[in-house]
Amino acid sequence: MEYYEHIVKNRNSCRQFTDTKVSDDVLNELLTYYEDEESVLIDGIATELRFYVGTVWDELKKCVGYNGKCIKAPAYMVIFSEVTDHYRENAGYIAQGLTLKMTELGLAACWLTINDAYGVKAALGEETDMVAACVVAFGYRDPSDTAKKADKKSLDEMTDGFRYGEDIDTDLFYRDLEDGLRAIAHAQSFANKQPYRIIVDHDQISLIGLPDDETNENDRRLNYGIVMFNFYAVMDAVRSNPPKWSFDPVTDRDLGLPADVTYVAKCKL
């Protein structure tokens, strides 16, 4: 409850930052979280976390940010990843953990769409073999930022019961599942499109991707990683053995999926 209310629900994207520098102590805290505490979605995918403080905006703006706009911030975080199955979902999951850690540390953040992943490496002077999988601008929110919070899908709109499109009987929710599902409904997504849905069953939930012409492949998969982390993190706060997501197919039941939607992953409860 507390983690959902204070961290997940409390955060919102920031597009206006103060000039205050993010200190080395704070960057080290984020790095320590990434190295020592954070859970990953898939074991064994090599990733690297890098921070860029100061003057990278002029170069970065050529290759990140939707609507031709790269948010100006005192710092940027990039997750570089090995390219393998589900590396983008894994990077999104890791970066979301860091974004929520930033909320805990009093920082504000905004994800940025990558328009040219090779350009990001060139802009940042990186020669790694890994690919730039996600970019997040961060720093301290300018108190004069009065942007209204984005409206999110309700739990009813986000969840189905047993099969796609079927109403959910809310009495079937496990008591501790509700905040996890709300954390999914509250997650960041490209342009707040939220092109996904959850099918809830007694023993598992399934993440389903909805068609959306505007969200590109990279952001679509980052979106999935973000919602998977949000669910995991809220469940981790209330259970000693939090459920883990799996990309294995669902073979033991019919989710009733129409042709234009995609099964993404499942999480055994």
Ligand X SMILES: Cc1cc2nc3c(=O)[nH]c(=O)nc-3n(C[C@H](O)[C@H](O)[C@H](O)COP(=O)(O)O)c2cc1C
> Which positions touch ligand X (CB under 6 A)?
12-13, 15, 65-66, 71, 110-113, 150, 188-192, 219, 222-223, 226
- The burial of 246, by beta-carbon neighbours within 10 Å (0-12 exposed, 13-18 middle, 19 or more buried), is given as middle
Smallest gap from residue 55 Cβ to ligand X (A): 20
Please, what's the b/e burial string for 60-87 (b: 16 or more CB within 10 A of its CB; e: otherwise)?
bbebbbbeeebbbbbbbbbbbbbeeebb
Amino acid identity of residue 268, one-letter, is K
CB 65 to ligand X: min, Å: 4
167/214 with CB nearer ligand X: 214
Q: 111 or 138, CB closer to ligand X?
A: 111
Taking the complex as a whole, the smallest distance from the CB of residue 124 to ligand X amounts, in Å, to 17
Decide whether 15 or 153 has the Cβ nearer to ligand X. 15
CB of 54 to ligand X, least distance (A): 20
Q: Which residue's C-beta sits nearest to ligand X?
A: 188
Length, in residues, of the chain: 269
The residue (of 148 and 175) whose beta carbon lies closer to ligand X is 148
Of 12 and 204, the one with the shorter C-beta distance to ligand X is 12
Those residues whose C-beta lies under 8 Å from the C-beta of residue 123, and which sit 6 or more positions away, are: 56, 59, 60, 62, 63
Minimal distance, residue 148 CB to ligand X, in Å: 9
Cβ-proximal residues to 248 (8 Å cutoff; 6+ apart), any chain? 266
Give the 3-state secondary structure of residue 24.
helix
∠ CA(224), CA(230), CA(232), 5° rounding? 100
Nearer to ligand X by C-beta: 128 or 192?
A: 192
CB 96 within 8 Å of CB 225: yes
Min. distance of Cβ 216 from ligand X in angstroms? 9
How many CA atoms lie within 13 Å of 96's alpha carbon, on the beta-carbon side? Answer: 32
| Smallest separation, CB 103 to ligand X (Å) | 11
Supply the DSSP string of 47-66, one letter for each residue. Answer: EEEEEEESTTHHHHTTTB-G
What distance in Å separates the CA atoms of residue 208 and residue 42, rounded to the nearest whole number?
19
CB closer to ligand X out of 11 and 121: 11
